[in-house]
């Protein structure tokens, strides 16, 4: 009797385990079978196998994701820049001086060539004029309203629809395996936090990004945090490992990026003992998304492409590794 | 039969509920019954009561704790300053110039008056000389070694023994009720992270503190993060709400401090709609710990004391609210 009970229990556990394994494989339905998917799944199995040599305790299962070009699209320009452009247009009536002042004039005239000519300094001016001078609550409301109404110029869908379905699945899959998932983006931390929780399941405290300085102020007994027109931190390139150390204080074991802005983040993550995963998403699908790498003004990928093989980083081809790019439109 | 089964189930659930309530009350054994404990427990019950008007979803149950003077002692000086002093002594053989150069000379001569006279600038020099110029990994190792061997000058116990037992219980109690607990300290973020997880159950990513700038460097193909002798962020006074917004991106619902350095953190936390808890730990127990407030050079508490009643903040008396201060020494 006892033996039969034990056998029954073992059979039950086996069914359960098979079910878990099958359920887990099903967590990545938009990924085609191939070396990229196999590498990701193999890594996750290795670090979660309690008896295995590559086992990593759940507290150290930190996975970091770039956002622009890795979790959502970034063409024809970073979506946050498109937000700044829309904001300049919306705020123009209260800024008559912008009609004659660059880079604002370029934006109002729709003259992208003149805007590009204004360079980094011009972009910084745009960002400050549209991202500073209000409280953090006010800024979050402005971003939220914009995301709810704005549409991508070419794809004509809300920007938050232009997230990558396979990456959403990957985030869920990692979390189902005890990973803590972080965004580590060159984009603005407070811009990202508005939609990261709803769209990616990543709460505000797991979003790392570029920031401007803020000031604590009490007006009529009501405290507020006011956004200042001053750069605080640029979370890009060598800034990414620094942001990771600052916010997380632990070295990740998996990193996902798409451009040379993510190079140091992948390097920091993977140049350490133990099982490590570095992944680069390649934009090679002009039909369903965009195709660009070495010569792009946005999301340039050259060094990462050259060094990926020697560094053991996995290249994901949007074209051949993904059977779906964007989520099926919601009704 | 059915009725009896339902009655039995109800009785079972009642026993279970009583058990849970009793188990929860038992989570604070070092707290004497009184208004402070009642206020804390009442707040936790209110925000976790799913049907109640003050219910707060687990994701928003953010509790922030000052460290020096709130989670552990801070007399006769911040423990991190005592660390810096010990480090100067340890490093002195390789710095012969310190024998004649202030504030180092003061430290080596044990001349606390001269050290105090060197002011904030002198302290900053001490901190930079002992906290910068190495990688983050190297610094963590130095702090770890110091914590393992150093003893408090008066109490003759390891510094990590001088944490407050009632606060350890409070951290556990809050986490058992779905809270996420953070440290928000004027002390150094990388100093705190060395022991916060083991001692307080607070992982590195939930530690916010003051920081110095860092640099990402690759030497012989090995990346490292190097600590620079430059202030990055001072997480004190109005810096605390700013640090909270930067790292967490959400407004806490409970804040615990002990000095005027925590005033803005308590203000930011409690001056918002919904149930809020602000707590100030009072050092009024000269026998078991230290007694100080308005006139102390460390942990000065004046404005907080004056305004606590009008702001609804709870004062915790170490003397009368705690039946134990430090954990029972480990063997």
What is d(CA A263, CA B146) in angstroms, rounded to the nearest whole number? 35
Neighbours of A107 (CB within 10 A): 25
Q: What SS3 class is residue B265?
A: helix
SS3 B278: strand
Q: Is the ipTM of this complex over 0.95?
A: no
Q: Tell me which residue of A297, A325, A39, A14 sits closest to A166, measured CA to CA.
A: A325
Nearest CA in chain A to B244: A205
Q: Are residues B241 and A211, on separate chains, in Cβ contact within 8 Å?
A: no
Beta-carbon contacts of B313 under 8 Å, excluding residues fewer than 6 positions away, are B266, B270, B278, B279, B280, B304, B307
Cβ–Cβ below 8 Å for A223 and B241: yes
Q: Which of B205, B211, B245 sits opposite A225 (nearest CB)?
A: B245
pLDDT-flagged residues of chain A (< 50)? 1
Cβ pair B216:A189 closer than 8 A: no
Nearest CA in chain A to B222: A271
B59 touches chain A (CB under 8 A): yes
* Residue numbers of B between 104 and 163 with CB closer than 8 Å to A: 136
Q: Are A64 and A185 in contact (CB under 8 A)?
A: no
Q: List phi, psi (to 5°) of B63.
A: -120, 130
* Alpha helix (H) residue ranges in chain A: 2-25, 35-48, 79-91, 104-109, 112-117, 119-131, 136-149, 165-176, 189-192, 196-200, 239-247, 263-270, 303-311, 318-321
Residue of B203, B267, B271 lying closest to A59 (CB–CB): B203
Is residue B178 left, alpha or beta, with left meaning phi > 0 and alpha meaning psi from -120 to 50?
left
* Residue A161 C-alpha, separation from nearest chain B C-alpha, in angstroms: 24
Instruction: Give bridge partners of residue B68 from the DSSP assignment.
Output: B72
CB spacing of A225 vs B238 below 8 angstroms: no
Report how far apart, in Å, the C-alpha atoms of B122 and of each of B31, B78, B84, B125 are: 40, 15, 12, 5
Parts of chain B with a pLDDT under 70: 1-25, 330-331
Strands B254-257 and B277-282: parallel
Hey, are the CB atoms on A203 and B268 less than 8 Å from each other?
no
The rounded distance, in Å, linking the Cα atoms of B117 and B122 is 8
The verdict on A309 touching B (C-beta cutoff 8 Å) is no
Please write the tens of the pLDDT for every residue from A15-34: 555 555 555 668 999 999 99
> Which of A218, A221, A249 lies closest to B193 in CB terms?
A249
- Residue B72 has φ and ψ, to the nearest 5°, of -145, 170
The answer to whether the CB atoms of B248 and A204 lie below 8 A apart is yes
Supply the pLDDT for residue A7. 60
Q: In B, which residues are within 8 Å of A193 by CB distance?
A: 249
Q: Mutating which of A198, A202, A216, A263 best tests the B interface, going by the most B Cβ atoms within 10 A? A: A216
CB of B300 closer than 8 Å to CB of B260: yes
Beta strand A207-219 with A222-233 is antiparallel
Report pTM. 0.92
Asked if A249 and B211 come within 8 Å (Cβ–Cβ), the reply is: no
Residue B210 phi, psi dihedral angles, 5° rounding? -70, 155
Integer-rounded Cα radius of gyration of chain B = 22
Question: Measured between CB atoms, does B60 come within 8 Å of chain A?
Answer: no
Strands of A207-219's sheet in order across: A222-233, A207-219, A180-188, A62-65, A254-257, A277-282, A314-317
CB contact (8 A) between residue A264 and residue B238: no
Q: How far is A271 from chain B (nearest CA, A)?
A: 7
pLDDT, position A13: 55
Start-to-end CA distance of chain B, whole Å, equals 56
The chain B residue lying nearest A214, using CA atoms, is B242
Q: Are A104 and A94 in contact (CB under 8 A)?
A: no
The predicted-structure confidence for B208-265, as pLDDT tens digits, reads as follows 999 999 999 999 889 999 999 999 999 999 999 999 999 999 999 999 999 999 999 9
Contact state of A248 with B216 under an 8 Å Cβ cutoff: no
Rounded CA gap, A183 and A200, in Å? 9
Give the whole-angstrom CA distance, residue B124 versus residue B121: 5
Indicate yes or no: CB of B271 within 8 angstroms of CB of A193: no
In this complex, is the C-beta atom of B218 within 8 Å of any C-beta atom belonging to chain A? yes
| Residue B254: per-residue pLDDT | 98
Beta strands in B144-206, from DSSP E residues, in sequence order: 180-188
Q: What is the pLDDT of residues B64-99, one digit of tens each?
A: 999 999 999 999 999 999 999 999 999 999 999 999
Contact A268 B216 (CB under 8 A): yes
* B100 CB-near residues (< 8 Å, 6+ apart): none
């Amino acid at each position: 009797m006892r033996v039969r009970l034990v056998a029954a229990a073992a059979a039950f556990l086996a069914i359960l385990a098979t079910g878990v394994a099958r359920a887990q494989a099903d967590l990545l339905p938009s990924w085609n079978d191939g070396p990229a998917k196999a590498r990701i799944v193999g890594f996750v199995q290795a670090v979660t196998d309690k008896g295995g040599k590559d086992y990593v305790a759940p507290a150290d299962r930190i996975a970091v994701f770039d956002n622009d070009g890795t979790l959502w699209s970034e063409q024809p320009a970073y979506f946050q820049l498109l937000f700044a452009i829309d904001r300049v247009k919306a705020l123009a009536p209260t800024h008559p001086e912008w009609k004659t002042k660059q880079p604002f004039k370029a934006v109002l005239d729709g003259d992208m060539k003149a805007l590009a000519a204004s360079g980094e300094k011009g972009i910084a001016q745009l960002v400050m004029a549209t991202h500073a001078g209000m409280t953090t609550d006010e800024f979050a409301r402005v971003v939220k309203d914009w995301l709810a109404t704005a549409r991508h110029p070419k794809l004509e869908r809300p920007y938050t629809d232009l997230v990558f379905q396979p990456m959403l699945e990957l985030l869920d899959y990692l979390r189902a395996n005890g990973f803590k998932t972080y965004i580590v983006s060159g984009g603005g931390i407070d811009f990202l936090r508005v939609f990261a929780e709803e769209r990616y399941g990543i709460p505000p405290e797991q979003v790392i990004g570029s920031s401007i300085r803020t000031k604590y102020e009490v007006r009529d007994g009501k405290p507020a945090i006011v956004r200042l027109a001053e750069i605080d931190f640029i979370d890009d390139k060598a800034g990414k490992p620094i942001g990771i150390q600052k916010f997380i204080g632990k070295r990740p074991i998996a990193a996902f990026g798409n451009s040379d802005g993510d190079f140091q983040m992948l390097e920091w993550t993977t140049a350490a003992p133990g099982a490590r995963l570095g992944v680069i998403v390649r934009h090679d699908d002009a039909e369903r998304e965009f195709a660009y790498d070495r010569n792009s003004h946005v999301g340039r990928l050259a060094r990462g492409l050259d060094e990926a093989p020697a560094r053991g980083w996995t290249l994901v081809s949007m074209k051949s590794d993904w059977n779906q790019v964007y989520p099926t439109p919601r009704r």
